[in-house]
Amino acid sequence: MDKDINIKPNWMPVGGNAKDIWEKLPVIRNNWSLQVSLRTRKAILSAMELQKPDALFMHTQSLALFSIPLMHRIPTIISTDATPLNLDSIATGYNHKVGGNYFAEYAKYQWNKSTYHGATAIVTWCGWVKNSLVHDYGIPSEKISIIPPGVDLEKWNFERHHTLESIRESPLRLLFVGGDFARKGGYTLLEAFLDGLESDFRLDIVTKDVSLKRELS
């Protein structure tokens, strides 16, 4: 966007540890979604005091919870890698607790649904998310575009000249990147690697799981 002379981006990063009033108020201080959505609304209103944006782009709907009236005035794209119901369906893997209070869960569902419907368009990272938006939240399919996360091909442009002979002479390197090693399938890969692949391949692991180093030492 910075290289497009027809676009003047105004980046408004929001997140946790802002040391503002929202980190002190009961209920809100323990709810990340409420905090960031209130900060997002404040950031948009501050930007509008200088110049009304022609469009808004937010990732994810959590940022937009308190901005539905603004979304009705400014064309808005919401980007998302998962819906709340997507996350609930894989709750165990994320140590995510699905609420047991029916009325609270229903209110949360309706709030997220209203946020999705308030967007002019929605970008999802995969078909799994689009299907949830269509079938779980009633979003028209034509309103949704699937755009997977991009890769900088200038930095990830490796020559593909490996043959079986070259692999035998120099082991092919495999790269695993995942902050949560177990949830990302790391142990499945490790099991396969140690079951006969280590002689022909080299495995590099990038993870925040510090216990793995002790297990492999």
Q: Residue 65's pLDDT is what?
A: 96
pLDDT beyond 90 at 112: yes
Give 8's Cβ-side CA count (13 Å radius).
Answer: 5
Q: Is pLDDT larger for residue 168 or for residue 10?
A: 10
Whether the CB-CB separation of 164 and 200 falls below 8 Å is answered with: no
The residues spanned by each domain of the chain are 21-146, 164-216
How much of the chain exceeds pLDDT 70, in percent? 93
3-state secondary structure of 94: helix
Q: Residue 39: which H helix or E strand, with range?
A: helix 32-50
Q: Is pLDDT larger for residue 19 or for residue 171?
A: 19
* pLDDT mean over 190-209: 86
User: What's the CATH superfamily of 21-146?
Assistant: Glycogen Phosphorylase B; (3.40.50.2000)
CA 101: distance to chain centroid? 26
pTM to 2 decimals? 0.79
Cα 152 from Cα 129, distance rounded (Å): 24
Q: Is pLDDT larger for residue 185 or for residue 79?
A: 79
Tens digit of each residue's pLDDT (9 = 90 or more) over 40-88: 999 999 999 998 999 999 999 999 999 999 999 999 999 999 999 998 8
pLDDT beyond 60 at 167: no
For residue 110, name the pLDDT band (cuts at 50, 70, 90).
very high
Helix spans in 63-210 (H): 68-73, 84-89, 102-118, 127-137, 164-169, 186-192
Average predicted confidence (pLDDT) for the chain:
87
pLDDT beyond 60 at 98: yes
* pLDDT mean over 10-31: 83
* pLDDT mean over 154-166: 68
Tens digit of each residue's pLDDT (9 = 90 or more) over 35-50: 999 999 999 999 999 9
Q: Residue 63's pLDDT is what?
A: 94
Q: Residue 2's pLDDT is what?
A: 76
Cα 76 from Cα 44, distance rounded (Å): 12
Q: Residue 101's pLDDT is what?
A: 82
Tens digit of each residue's pLDDT (9 = 90 or more) over 114-145: 999 999 999 999 999 999 999 999 999 999 99
